[in-house]
């Protein structure tokens, strides 16, 4: 066995030449650290990565600059819907991940909303992947017209003039959809760019990366980070 190993030749991946690419940006926690990665789904390779303190515009802008410095040209980008980040990519088409949008609404409404308004909004967001911007926009507008008084309902603090929205979580879910609406169907408007409608390419990568790291549980934070860094170096263009 040792002889076979000594004689074996390690295969190396062909270098990826700089080119125009649609890219997925997403972040995940590796232990106590946050890892931001940019991946080209069509090439099935990471274009860059960075350890960050938090998901800020500066962190995304820094990773974008790193990728472009390598010679790649971003034609479009897919993001998870975090507020403010799309402005980093204001000069190219931006797609908000439809799965992340669904998750945002699900967390706010739960999977079994008790109210009719909640049930209808959840049903509407589940239609995202099979819809288009015109149809979905019409559905959101109809929903609002039917339930405007409900989601605008206010609850006053007893004995004061202070108030809050009674159904804050549902209102927040609706406003999230309204805010991201213009970016949820970008992939349909630019078919030639082959933009994914989700960040699934990176979601799958996270699973593979964490499975590799899980085989070494018990390692210190520093060593786990070093291991992840070494894996990333070998899997990045």
The per-residue pLDDT for 203 is: 87
C-alpha to C-alpha distance for 15 and 236, rounded to whole angstroms: 10
The per-residue pLDDT for 216 is: 58
The C-alpha torsion from 88 through 93 and 99 to 101, rounded to 10°, is: 60
Structural domains in the chain plus CATH codes: 18-93+190-237 (3.30.420.10), 111-181 (no CATH)
Quickly list DSSP for 23-44.
Answer: EEEEEEEETTEEEEEEEETTTT
C-alpha to C-alpha distance for 52 and 8, rounded to whole angstroms: 38
Helices (H), 70-216: 98-109, 116-125, 133-151, 168-180, 186-189, 200-214
Low-confidence ranges of the chain (pLDDT < 70): 1-14, 215-219
């Amino acid at each position: 066995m040792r002889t076979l190993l000594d004689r074996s030749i390690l295969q190396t991946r062909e270098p990826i030449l700089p080119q125009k690419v649609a890219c997925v940006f997403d972040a995940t926690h590796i232990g106590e650290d946050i890892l931001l990665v940019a991946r080209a789904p069509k090439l099935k390779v990471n274009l860059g990565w960075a350890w960050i303190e938090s998901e800020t515009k500066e962190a995304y802008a820094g990773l974008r600059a790193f990728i472009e410095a390598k010679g790649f040209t971003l034609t479009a980008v897919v993001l998870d819907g975090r507020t403010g980040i799309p402005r980093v990519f204001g000069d190219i088409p931006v797609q908000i991940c439809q799965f992340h949008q669904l998750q945002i609404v699900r967390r706010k409404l739960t999977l079994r909303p008790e109210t009719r308004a909640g049930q209808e909004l959840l049903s509407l967001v589940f239609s995202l992947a099979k819809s288009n911007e015109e149809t979905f926009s019409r559905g959101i507008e109809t929903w609002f017209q039917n339930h405007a008084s409900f989601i605008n309902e206010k609850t006053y603090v007893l004995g004061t003039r202070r108030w809050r929205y009674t159904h804050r979580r549902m209102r927040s879910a609706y406003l999230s959809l309204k805010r991201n609406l213009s970016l949820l169907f970008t992939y349909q408007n630019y078919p030639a760019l082959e933009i994914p409608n989700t960040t699934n390419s990176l979601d799958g990568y996270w699973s593979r990366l964490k499975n590799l790291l899980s085989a070494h549980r018990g390692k210190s934070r520093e060593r786990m980070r070093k291991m992840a860094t070494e894996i990333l170096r070998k899997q990045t263009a």
